[in-house]
A and B are shown apart, each in its own frame.
Chain A
């Protein structure tokens, strides 16, 4: 019980870090990309920044789920490993549906 709790706390902290990193990176890229777009110089750089920012934004929640799978494997909590993998499979399903 105690070990489980500390595992959950560690997971919560890691998730917080992943989410913070994702939002700060994507928002910075959006802000710089938009500023460059407005000035009209280097449109290619602006497009690259905005596009990459969007990909990072979309990748942040799945990254959080991946971190969760790793923690549940470490704890040997196989029910939650399976549940988390189903969530990842549904997201993979979205990728398939997007390009099919």
Chain B
């Protein structure tokens, strides 16, 4: 009897840490899948949903959550851009110019994150989550295209096949300094909070810098990979990026985006946008409450 009890106890102890790891991995995978699917359907990265889940629900420090989220941003960027490569929607030249600003921004953001208190990061996340909610609801879509394909798009502009008109269209870039500034801020916020930063750049590029929305989104999707890497490297070196937690998040986001891409096409997402904007406002409030504890 005593022997059996001992054996049971022993077995329980031996399995428990494994179970815990497996459960945690499974939960993170599920959270990643939800965030990835929502991201694809709503046209934003999943990080804005993944980070609050990891911190508010699982209790991870914001720095670890941001680091995990950044690795999913890198994976999403690479997968999406690999699929799009060849259709000329990605503006490689303009993207590279803006990457100068995003990578410098993410370098400075990553360094800042090491010195800033957890509560400050939480408040900043709250502000950004509320701003994202506002941008999501009021998103504008300027067409910005020149229908004549023979027009010179300039050194930074581009040309692509537009579905609406069924032909090749051009666009020119305006207000480069503003685009650079928005990219710098996006890179900074990306490193500090673990989001891609597309939600900051894309509306600016579309509304003021002359880029059609799809070209801006595709170019931003490519840029966020290298931007997130700048931040992720710093977290990795400082021991905040655990492979065991990053792996299920990355796989989850990929699975979620795959499913989301198949569900999203054609479906109306207006009610979902309102719902998720409300959720982000709740996230903002929770982050503020957490920061005062």
Q: Which A residues lie at the B interface, using CB under 8 A?
A: 8-9, 11-13, 15-17, 19-20, 22-23, 26-27, 30-31, 33-34, 37-38, 40, 47, 50-51, 53-54, 57-58, 60-62, 64-65, 68, 80, 83-84, 86-87, 90-91, 93-95, 97-99
Our pick among A37, A64, A93 for the contact of B107 (Cβ within 8 Å) is: A93
Rounded to whole Å, the gap between the CB of B86 and the closest CB of chain A is 6
Judge whether B138 is part of the interface by a CB distance below 8 angstroms. Answer: no
Q: Chain B interface mostly helix, strand, loop or mixed? A: helix
A26-B75, A90-B100, A91-B226 are known contacts; what are 20 more A-B pairs with Cβ within 8 Å? A16-B81, A19-B85, A20-B82, A27-B251, A34-B25, A37-B22, A38-B25, A40-B18, A54-B236, A57-B246, A58-B233, A60-B74, A65-B226, A80-B96, A87-B99, A90-B107, A93-B107, A94-B110, A94-B233, A94-B234
Beta-carbon contact of A12 and B243 below 8 Å: no
Interface residues of B in 217-240 (CB under 8 A from A): 225-226, 228-238
Q: Which of B18, B92, B104, B250 touches A57 (beta carbons < 8 Å)?
A: B250
List the B side residues contacting A64 at CB < 8 Å. 225-226
Number of interface residues of B (CB under 8 A): 51
Evaluate contact between B22 and A83: CB separation under 8 angstroms. no
Contacts of A23 in B (CB 8 A): 75, 78-79, 82
Q: A84-B96, A86-B100, A87-B99 are in contact. Are A50 and B229 (CB under 8 A)?
A: no
Does B106 interact with chain A (Cβ within 8 Å)? yes
